[in-house]
C-alpha cells in the first residue's frame, strides 16, 4: 500500500472550497465529483501522511479563523457552513441566508472583468502558500514543487502537479464505489479496532473475505463516507515534538531514514514497536461499534447469533466470593458508577467472582474484556474462561504465534488479552475486567492506562481487581466515585499468615559484586532449618532484590546446608536441593516447575515469582527486605501471599529480614492484619 498522501482542494462552488488528503486521490476525486463538487485540485506532490494531515489541519484552522474574524452577516467563502438556524446561541456567527448568498455569487460573476480568475482559484493558491508556510515552519520543505494544478479549456488538469493524480487514475481507474457487501465486510472487521493497513489486510485474510476491489480503495471509500477514521501513525504536537497516535507516547518517537516513504527523516514510535511499526508514513484505521448496538452481517456472510442466555459454569464459591459476585452483578445491572474496585487478598479467587457479571453482559450481546498485564496469566486464563463460558466466542491475544484471534468483534464475544494488546482496540468493550492493576508493566504506565480507557466504549463499565491497590484507587472507592467490593478472606476461611519482622545486620547487598561467597547468618540458617525440618517439612521460597544476589545467595545457601549435614539439626536438610532463578535465567520455567513438583526444596528468586505461583506447602523468606527501591509495600504483600493458599496447608510462615525495619515492611504487616480483622468482622473466618 502507498506510504504517501496527496493534499487536495475540493471546489464546491465559486466561493466554497474544502481540503483533504488521501493515499488514493483518484478515489477521492471520483467521490467528490459524484457528490456534485465542481473541481478536484491536487495542491502539489505527495507527502508523508504525517505532513499531509498537518497541512490539512492547518488549512482547516485558517478557514475557521477567517469565519470568526468575518464581519457579522457574512459567511466565510471557504467554510461551507449552512445558514444559522433561528434561536442560535448568542455570539454565534450570523450567516447570510442562502438566497442572498446566491444573489451575491451571481453579481460577482456578472461584474468580474473578463479573463480574471474566479474566487475559488485565489482561495486554492492562497491555501498552497499557507500549507507551504506551515510545513516550512514545522521543519518540512515542500517549497520545491508545491503549487496547484491548472484547469485547461477542456476541463482537464494541466501542469506538473496533476501528474500523480493522472497517473493513478490511468493505472487504476475508479468506476464507482465498491459493492456495499464488500464495504460492510471491511467495516465489520474494523469495528472496535485500531489497526494499521497491514493488520487490516491480515484480518481480511483470516476472515476469508474475497474483496472485489483493492483493500486500500475500500478503506478510502469508508473514510470518505464517515464509517472509518483514518489518522497518521505519528503526528506533530503543539510543542514541536511528535506523538504516536496508537500509544500516545512522545518521548520515544525517533527519526529514521525510511525506505518505504523515501524520506530521510521519518518519525517512528519505539514505545509500541513490538506490536508492529507505527511511523509518520503509516496510516491507522479505527472504527467504533454502532451506537445502538446493531451489527452488520459477519464478514463470512453468516448471520451472527442473536443475543440470548449465555451458559455460565460457576465453580463452588465461598461466602466471601458469593457476596462479591452478587455485588458485581448488581453493578452491571444498575450501574451507579462506571468503575468498581475488587479489593481481594492474595488467593481469594477474585477472577471467579466476575463470572456472573460477565455472563449477564454477554447474554445482552455485549463484548467483555479480561485484561492482565502478564502473558503467562493470559495463557492460563484462556482454558479457565473457555470452560466457564462454553457457548461464547473466545479470543486469546498476547505476543507470540500461539494467540487465538478471531477476525471481527462479534456481539457476545469474550476477549482475553495482555494490556499491551489493548493498543489495537478502539471503543470496543461494554465491560472491561482488569486484573492485577498493581502489577508491572501496567502499574505506572501512562501508555497502557490510555489504551485501557480507549478500549472501553463511552458508556462501558470497568472492573479493576487487585490485592494491593494504590492509595488513589482506595480513596476513589471510599469517596463513592467507584464501587468498592472487598474480599478479605481466602476460600478455606483461615486468616492470612502475618509476617515476622527480623533484623540481621550481617546482610550486605553489595557482597555479590565483591567476589566473596555468601555465608548465611545463624538467624537465616535457623529460618531455613525451621521450614525444611518442620513437622511436616515444607519448601522455602527465598526472595532477594537483584539478579546478582539470586545466584550469590543460592550458592551460599546450598553450601551452608551441605556443611551442616553432619550436625544433628542439619541431617534432615543436608540433602535439600537449592536452585536460583531470575528474569535473565533461560531455565526459569523449568526451575519453577521443579520447585512446584518438589524436585527443588529451596528456590532463591527475584520478584519474578512474587505473583502467579501457588505451591501447597511453602514458606517465604524475604532477604534484604529493607531495600525499599525493590521491596515496596505492594511487593512484600504479594510475596507474603504465596503462603497458606491451599486448604491442605492454610497456614505457613513468612519472615521479612533486613538490616533494619522499614516503613514498607511495617505497612505490609499492617495491611495483612487489617484484612484479617475485616474478614473477622464480616464473619468470613472459620478459624479466629
What band does 153 get if pLDDT is binned at 50, 70 and 90?
very low
Retrieve residue 507's grid coordinates: 546482610
Distance CA 643, CA 89 (A): 65
* Residues 481/675, Cβ–Cβ less than 8 Å: no
Distance CA 648, CA 61 (A): 69
pLDDT of residue 444: 84
pLDDT in tens, 400-446: 766 777 888 888 999 999 999 999 999 999 999 999 888 888 888 89
pLDDT of residue 144: 57
Q: Which residues lie below 8 Å from residue 204, measured CB to CB, with a gap of 6+?
A: 185, 186, 189, 211, 215, 299, 407
Q: Which residues lie below 8 Å from residue 289, measured CB to CB, with a gap of 6+?
A: 191, 192, 367, 409, 427, 428, 457
Retrieve residue 306's grid coordinates: 442473536
| Residue 490 clears pLDDT 70, i.e. is over it | yes
The architecture in CATH of the region 500-681 reads: 3-Layer(aba) Sandwich (3.40)
pLDDT in tens, 549-607: 999 999 999 999 888 766 655 556 667 899 999 989 899 889 999 999 989 999 999 99
pLDDT in tens, 309-345: 788 998 889 889 999 999 999 999 988 899 999 999 9
Retrieve residue 55's grid coordinates: 497541512
Average pLDDT in the chain: 83
Most confident listed range (106-110, 382-386, 393-397, 661-665): 661-665
Distance CA 538, CA 601 (A): 8
| Residue 108 clears pLDDT 60, i.e. is over it | no
Distance CA 571, CA 575 (A): 8
pLDDT of residue 565: 65
Closest CA to 344 of 316, 323, 314, 361: 323
Coil/strand/helix, residue 184: helix
Retrieve residue 243's grid coordinates: 506523538
pLDDT of residue 89: 32
pLDDT in tens, 85-97: 333 333 333 333 4
Is the model more confident about 240 or about 553?
553
Is the model more confident about 162 or about 237?
237
- Distance between start and end Cα atoms, the chain: 68
What band does 470 get if pLDDT is binned at 50, 70 and 90?
confident
Sign of CA dihedral 649, 651, 657, 661: positive
Strand order in the sheet with 618-623: 500-503, 654-658, 618-623, 539-543, 602-605, 578-581
| Residue 188 clears pLDDT 50, i.e. is over it | yes
| Residue 84 clears pLDDT 70, i.e. is over it | no
| Residue 642 clears pLDDT 80, i.e. is over it | yes
Q: What is the mean pLDDT of residues 133-143?
A: 85
Distances in Å between the alpha carbon of 360 and those of 331, 367, 435, 527? 11, 11, 19, 49
Distance CA 427, CA 410 (A): 14
Is the model more confident about 489 or about 66?
489
Please give the helix or strand (H or E) that residue 401 lies within, else none. Answer: none
Distance CA 624, CA 552 (A): 13
Query: Would strands 539-543 and 618-623 be described as parallel, antiparallel, or unpaired?
Result: parallel
pLDDT of residue 159: 45
The architecture in CATH of the region 319-487 reads: 3-Layer(aba) Sandwich (3.40)
| Sequence-separated contacts (24+) of 128-132 with Cβ below 8 Å | 128/43, 128/44, 130/58, 130/59, 130/62, 131/7, 131/43, 131/44, 131/55, 131/58, 131/59
Domain with CATH 3.40.50.300 in the chain: 319-487, 500-681
| Residue 270 clears pLDDT 70, i.e. is over it | yes
Retrieve residue 527's grid coordinates: 529460618
pLDDT of residue 534: 83
Q: Which of 5-9, 112-116, 478-482, 580-584 has the lowest mean pLDDT?
A: 112-116
Closest CA to 612 of 584, 633, 589: 589
| Residue 460 clears pLDDT 80, i.e. is over it | yes
Whole-model pTM?
0.83
pLDDT in tens, 615-641: 889 999 999 999 999 999 999 999 999
pLDDT of residue 203: 93
| Residue 152 clears pLDDT 50, i.e. is over it | no
Residue 114 backbone phi and psi in degrees, to 5: -65, 140
pLDDT in tens, 196-235: 999 999 999 999 988 988 999 999 999 999 999 999 999 9
Closest CA to 609 of 641, 577, 645, 578: 641
Amino acid at each position: 500500500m502507498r506510504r504517501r498522501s496527496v493534499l487536495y482542494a475540493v471546489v464546491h462552488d465559486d466561493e466554497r472550497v474544502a481540503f483533504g488528503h488521501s493515499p488514493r486521490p483518484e478515489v477521492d476525486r471520483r467521490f467528490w465529483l459524484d457528490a456534485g463538487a465542481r473541481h478536484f485540485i491536487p495542491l502539489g506532490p505527495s507527502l508523508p501522511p504525517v505532513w499531509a494531515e498537518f497541512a490539512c489541519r492547518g488549512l482547516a484552522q485558517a478557514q475557521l479563523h477567517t469565519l470568526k474574524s468575518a464581519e457579522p452577516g457574512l459567511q466565510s467563502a471557504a467554510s461551507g457552513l449552512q445558514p444559522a438556524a433561528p434561536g442560535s446561541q448568542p455570539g454565534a456567527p450570523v450567516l447570510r441566508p442562502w438566497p442572498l448568498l446566491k444573489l451575491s455569487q451571481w453579481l460577482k460573476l456578472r461584474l468580474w472583468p473578463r479573463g480574471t480568475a474566479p474566487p475559488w482559484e485565489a482561495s486554492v493558491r492562497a491555501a498552497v502558500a499557507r500549507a507551504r508556510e506551515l510545513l516550512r515552519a514545522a521543519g518540512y520543505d515542500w517549497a520545491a514543487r508545491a503549487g496547484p494544478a491548472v484547469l485547461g479549456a477542456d476541463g482537464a488538469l494541466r501542469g506538473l502537479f496533476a501528474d500523480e493524480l493522472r497517473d493513478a487514475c490511468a493505472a487504476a481507474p475508479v468506476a464507482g464505489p465498491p459493492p456495499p457487501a464488500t464495504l460492510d465486510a471491511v467495516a465489520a472487521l474494523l469495528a472496535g479496532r485500531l489497526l494499521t493497513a497491514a493488520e487490516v489486510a491480515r484480518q481480511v485474510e483470516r476472515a476469508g473475505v474475497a474483496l472485489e476491489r483493492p483493500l486500500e480503495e475500500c478503506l478510502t471509500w469508508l473514510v470518505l463516507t464517515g464509517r472509518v477514521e483514518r489518522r497518521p501513525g505519528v503526528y506533530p504536537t503543539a510543542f514541536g515534538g511528535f506523538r504516536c497516535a496508537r500509544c500516545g507516547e512522545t518521548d520515544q518517537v525517533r527519526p529514521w531514514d525510511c525506505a518505504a516513504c523515501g524520506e530521510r527523516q521519518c518519525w517512528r514510535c519505539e514505545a509500541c514497536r513490538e506490536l508492529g511499526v507505527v511511523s509518520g508514513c503509516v496510516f491507522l484505521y479505527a472504527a467504533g461499534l454502532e451506537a445502538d448496538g446493531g451489527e452488520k452481517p459477519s464478514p463470512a456472510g453468516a448471520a451472527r447469533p442473536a443475543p440470548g442466555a449465555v451458559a455460565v459454569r460457576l465453580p463452588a464459591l465461598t461466602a466471601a466470593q458469593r457476596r462479591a459476585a452478587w455485588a458485581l452483578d448488581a453493578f452491571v445491572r444498575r450501574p451507579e458508577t462506571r468503575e468498581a474496585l475488587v479489593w481481594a487478598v492474595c488467593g481469594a479467587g477474585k477472577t471467579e467472582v466476575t463470572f456472573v457479571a460477565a455472563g449477564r453482559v454477554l447474554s445482552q450481546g455485549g463484548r467483555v474484556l479480561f485484561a492482565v498485564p502478564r502473558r503467562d496469566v493470559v495463557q492460563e486464563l484462556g482454558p479457565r474462561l473457555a470452560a466457564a463460558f462454553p457457548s461464547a466466542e473466545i479470543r486469546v491475544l498476547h505476543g507470540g504465534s500461539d494467540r487465538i484471534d478471531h477476525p471481527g468483534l462479534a456481539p457476545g464475544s469474550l476477549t482475553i488479552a495482555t494490556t499491551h494488546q489493548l493498543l489495537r482496540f478502539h471503543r470496543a468493550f461494554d465491560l472491561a475486567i482488569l486484573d492485577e492493576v498493581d502489577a508491572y508493566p501496567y502499574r505506572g504506565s501512562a501508555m497502557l492506562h490510555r489504551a485501557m480507557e480507549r478500549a472501553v466504549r463511552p458508556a462501558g463499565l470497568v472492573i479493576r481487581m487487585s490485592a494491593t491497590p494504590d492509595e488513589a484507587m482506595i480513596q476513589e472507592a471510599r469517596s463513592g466515585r467507584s464501587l468498592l467490593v472487598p474480599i478479605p478472606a481466602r476460600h478455606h476461611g483461615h486468616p492470612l499468615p502475618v509476617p515476622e519482622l527480623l533484623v540481621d545486620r550481617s546482610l550486605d547487598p553489595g557482597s555479590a559484586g565483591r567476589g566473596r561467597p555468601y555465608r548465611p547468618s545463624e538467624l537465616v540458617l535457623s529460618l531455613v532449618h525451621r521450614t525444611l525440618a518442620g513437622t511436616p517439612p515444607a519448601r522455602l521460597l527465598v526472595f532477594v532484590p537483584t539478579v546478582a544476589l539470586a545466584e550469590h545467595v543460592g550458592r551460599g545457601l546450598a553450601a551452608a546446608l551441605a556443611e551442616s549435614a553432619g550436625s544433628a539439626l542439619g541431617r534432615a536438610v543436608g540433602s535439600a536441593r537449592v536452585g536460583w532463578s531470575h528474569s535473565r535465567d533461560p531455565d526459569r520455567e523449568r526451575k519453577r516447575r521443579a520447585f512446584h513438583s518438589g524436585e527443588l526444596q529451596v528456590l532463591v528468586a527475584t520478584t519474578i515469582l512474587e505473583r502467579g505461583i501457588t505451591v501447597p506447602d511453602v514458606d517465604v523468606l524475604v532477604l534484604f527486605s529493607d531495600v525499599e527501591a525493590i521491596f515496596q509495600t505492594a511487593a512484600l504483600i504479594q510475596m507474603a501471599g504465596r503462603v497458606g493458599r491451599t486448604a491442605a496447608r492454610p497456614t505457613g510462615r513468612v519472615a521479612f529480614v533486613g538490616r533494619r525495619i522499614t516503613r514498607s515492611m511495617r505497612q505490609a504487616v499492617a495491611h495483612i492484619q487489617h484484612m484479617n480483622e475485616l474478614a473477622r468482622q464480616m464473619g468470613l473466618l472459620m478459624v479466629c
